[in-house]
Amino acid sequence: MRIVMKSVASILVVFCMSAIVVAQGAAPQAPPPPAARKLVSVRLTPKVYWVKGMGFGAFIVGEKGVIVFDACRSPEAARQMQALIAKVTSKPITTMILTHSDSDHVNGLPAFPAGIRIISLEQNRKDIVDSATEGHLAPEYMAIPKAYLPNHIVAGRTEMKIEGEKMVLLSWAPAHSLGDLVIYLPEERIMLAGDLVVLDQQDLPLIHIDHGGSSKGWVTSVQGMLTYDASLYIVGHEGAVVRDDIEKQLDAAIAERAKVKELYEKGVPLAEIQVAVQDPNPNKKPASGPANGPKFPPFSEVLYTELKRGTF
Ligand SMILES: [Zn+2]
């Protein structure tokens, strides 16, 4: 996380020139358990706020209403997020944009105002519905009432102007999960990347190998994202990073894909491959993912499994 924190520090020097930190319970002592964590909003530009303290969160105060990015891990967290929004504007929330359908990004949907526009990829809408189907509801998921399901589907590349804010909604391929929507704000040069990129201590992608994710799709998606000229990337699980950080993870992922493939084809077993590529790296913390959400195998195991399944 050192790189991430360093980047955040340098970014905040740039962005905090005019930034107002709307903090609740500022100086952190021992980190409280995830359920009790306070959310904090950081003003990045006059209109764009980053919400820290959960998987991924941001909002834009637009002309007549507020656009929210991701719906929090629980209704309680969603109410906290709305309290932060109410501190900076009296405008109503009119739009929700979901980066993907992991539980810690959608469980708070029913606590947002009814009747708002909820934008997502089709596969993420379907995933939320399927998660609530009897027998499929994983413990970390909540059943989302029909009135709070996505009602505006996008795909590929979609340019939109919402509440006066220009944005480009982008998706390339299944990557971190079965659907990853990334939002570029061209006037702000900010990329809202969801969990497509998560920079934890292992510095490698987190892929839902058994929930539609793909290492090949991840490389395609991150390369696609880097064709845009963003100066700041808000990424999953509390990262605000610059292009170099993303490129470093992309290079590491591409190198590990090549090495694991080479060793797999020589018949080397996974345990030996993991020692050879140092993944998981015994000197770093294991890949974390959402604190109270799904767990992730090391990237080397994802690659080995894809090779075995013929999905590499
Ligand atoms: Zn996720």
In angstroms, what is the span from residue 263 Cα to ligand 1's centroid?
29
In angstroms, what is the span from residue 105 Cα to ligand 1's centroid?
7
pLDDT band at 27 (very low <50, low <70, confident <90, very high): very low
pLDDT at 6: 42
89-131 pLDDT per residue, tens: 999 999 999 999 999 999 999 999 999 999 999 999 999 998 8
| Average pLDDT of the segment spanning 46-54 | 93
In angstroms, what is the span from residue 175 Cα to ligand 1's centroid?
10
In percent, the amount of the chain with pLDDT more than 90 equals: 73
In angstroms, what is the span from residue 98 Cα to ligand 1's centroid?
11
Q: Which stretches does DSSP call E strand in the chain?
A: 21-22, 40-43, 48-52, 58-61, 66-69, 93-97, 117-121, 152-154, 157-162, 165-170, 182-185, 190-192, 232-235, 239-241
Query: Does 308 fall in a domain?
Result: no
Query: Does 266 fall in a domain?
Result: no
In angstroms, what is the span from residue 18 Cα to ligand 1's centroid?
31
pLDDT band at 14 (very low <50, low <70, confident <90, very high): very low
In angstroms, what is the span from residue 50 Cα to ligand 1's centroid?
17
User: For residue 258, what are the contacts with CB-CB under 8 A and spacing of at least 6?
Assistant: none
In angstroms, what is the span from residue 55 Cα to ligand 1's centroid?
7
In angstroms, what is the span from residue 188 Cα to ligand 1's centroid?
24
Query: Does 167 fall in a domain?
Result: yes
**CB distance 79 to 111 below 8 Å:** yes
Query: Does 165 fall in a domain?
Result: yes
Residue range of the domain that includes 110 = 2-245
Query: Does 15 fall in a domain?
Result: yes
In angstroms, what is the span from residue 17 Cα to ligand 1's centroid?
31
pLDDT at 138: 73
Q: What is the dihedral of CA 246, 81, 41, 181, to 10 degrees?
A: 20
In angstroms, what is the span from residue 152 Cα to ligand 1's centroid?
21
* Chain center to CA of 184: 13
In angstroms, what is the span from residue 107 Cα to ligand 1's centroid?
12
What is the CATH classification number for the domain harbouring 67?
3.60.15.10
Structure tokens at 215: 């290492």
Q: What is the mean pLDDT of the chain?
A: 87
Residue among 51, 49, 59 nearest 163 (CA): 59
260-308 pLDDT per residue, tens: 999 999 999 999 999 999 999 888 876 555 555 557 899 999 999 999 9
| Average pLDDT of the segment spanning 34-49 | 85
In angstroms, what is the span from residue 278 Cα to ligand 1's centroid?
24
pLDDT at 227 over 50: yes
128-186 pLDDT per residue, tens: 998 877 666 777 888 899 999 999 999 999 999 999 999 999 999 999 999 999 999 99
pLDDT at 293: 54
Cα–Cα distance measured from residue 189 to residue 184, given in angstroms and rounded to the nearest whole number: 7
Strands 117-121 and 40-43: unpaired
Strands 152-154 and 117-121: parallel
Query: Does 196 fall in a domain?
Result: yes
pLDDT band at 40 (very low <50, low <70, confident <90, very high): very high
In angstroms, what is the span from residue 9 Cα to ligand 1's centroid?
24
| Average pLDDT of the segment spanning 37-43 | 90
Query: Does 30 fall in a domain?
Result: yes
- How many distinct structural domains can be found in the chain? 1
In angstroms, what is the span from residue 224 Cα to ligand 1's centroid?
19
Cα–Cα distance measured from residue 279 to residue 253, given in angstroms and rounded to the nearest whole number: 11
User: For residue 289, what are the contacts with CB-CB under 8 A and spacing of at least 6?
Assistant: 198, 200, 206, 237, 295, 296
In angstroms, what is the span from residue 291 Cα to ligand 1's centroid?
11
In angstroms, what is the span from residue 20 Cα to ligand 1's centroid?
28
Query: Does 309 fall in a domain?
Result: no
| Average pLDDT of the segment spanning 73-83 | 95
